[in-house]
Each structure stands twice: as C-alpha cells, then as structure tokens.
Amino acid sequence: MKKKIIENTKTIFFALIIALIIRSLFFQPFYIPSSSMEPNLLIGDRLFVSKYTYGYSRHAFPFSPKIFNGRFFSTLPKRGDIIVFKTPADNRTDYIKRLIGLPGDEIQIINGKIFINNSPIKRTDPKKSKEINCGNSNKESQIFTETLSNGISYFAAYSMHGTMINSDKYNVPNEHYFFMGDNRDCSKDSRYLSSVGYVKFENIVGKARIIFFSTNKNEGNILKFWNWNKIIRFERFFKKIK
C-alpha cells in the first residue's frame, strides 16, 4: 500500500513538472473575460498563447519570478500581432490587445481615425453595423476592415458615438510597444497612460494563436448539457487567431 502511494505521488509530481514546462516554454491557455477585442475575440473564448514566439522573460513563468531581467532567445513582435502582456501598472495582470505602435512610432487619433507616423491606417468603408458588447451594455458600432502597413488585416469596431474621436500624440519609447483593443471605444489599453500606457518588451508574455474552446455565458450554464447547442460556440473551435 505504501509503495503504491509513493508511485502515485511520483506520477503526479512528474505530471505537474511536465505541465509546468509546457505552460512556461510552449503554450499557455487564456480566457477572454471582456469585450475589448470584439468582434475578433469574444467573451468566453479560450485560447492558446505561444510562449516561444518572442523569446522568454521572467513573465513567461508562473508568478513572474525575479530571477533575471530582459529576454533571451528574443524575436521582435510584428505590428498587428495579438499579444498577451503584463500591465506595467502591476506587472501581474494579463491583458490581450493588438500591437499597433512599435518603438519610435508616433500614434494619434484624428477624427476617429488612427494615424501611425502621420499616415492613417487603411480601412474599408464599413460593410455593416452591429451591436457590440461593452461592459453591461451594447453599443451600435460600425465594423471596418483595417490593413496595416505590413499587410496585416483584421476587423475593428468603432462605436457610432465614439468616446475617443481625437487624442494627443503618443510617442512610443525605445523597447516599448503601443497596444489597442479591436473594440476601439470599449478597451482600456495604451491610450490610457496612467493605467496601461506603453508596454516594455520584457512585459510581453506571448502571441495568441488559436481558439480551442468557446462558450456564451449569456445562454446559460455549461452544466445544462441539453442547451449545449446554444451555450457552446462549436464554430469557434480551433479557429486560428489573426
């Protein structure tokens, strides 16, 4: 009996070590709790984030241990990547946003359009408008297809009654990045310098890769298996993130 307990303990221990290695060095699951990345990421999406894409900082590991500074095996992120990072305010809270500004860039919003180094982000005329979730309410929003200078395209939602029509200029410091949510008028991001602001390269955790599971909490509890056709978003399973 004692020998069996020891063997089971060893099995559990090694399983935990393997899980820790996978989580720290390869992939980590994340849950989307807010609407800041709609219409591309929805509340209830579960996704995998690759840790190896940009190399490793202390934030790649659980609890962000202060065992070293900077990054190793580093590769620079690309404009348009959807990235998980630790907020500069506490170096603990995970945010997920789209990378808009690189080190040295000048970002400004003029008449509701985003300018990068005095050039507006290209966007199509809105093909449709829809209700986009924002906290405890919905906002009627226009959905644009935006295309960045490197060819990355994605959907972006702008409220019909925008909250940030014009802004000051944001000058991205060296080794820092500027992030925005795709739900432009319902996202706390780098535009809010006191709470998020510019993000150090060291604070980047990884790149969002794929949605592996998704539920719509507005349709009820997942334990109600007879309503799974409404609760579980089967069409989002294994959807590549772009």
Q: Mind listing the pLDDT tens digit for each residue in 169-183?
A: 999 999 999 999 999
Report CA torsion sign: 146, 147, 149, 150: positive
Q: Supply the pTM of this predicted model.
A: 0.91
Given pLDDT bands bounded at 50, 70 and 90, which one contains residue 147?
Answer: very high
Mean pLDDT of 216-220: 83
Asked whether residue 228 carries a pLDDT value surpassing 90, the answer given is: no
Q: Who's near 226: CB < 8 A, 6+ residues apart?
A: none
Domains of the chain, CATH where assigned:
2-240 (2.10.109.10)
Which range has the worst mean pLDDT, 112-116, 131-135, 192-196?
A: 131-135
Can you say how many angstroms the Cα of residue 96 is from the centroid of all Cα atoms in its chain?
2
pLDDT at 16: 76
Catalytic residues: 36, 97
* Structure token pair of residue 219: 């349709």
pLDDT at 160: 84
Q: Give the residue, 227 or 41, on which the prediction is more confident.
A: 41
Return the residue matching tokens 């409220």: 159
Q: Give the residue, 55 or 18, on which the prediction is more confident.
A: 55
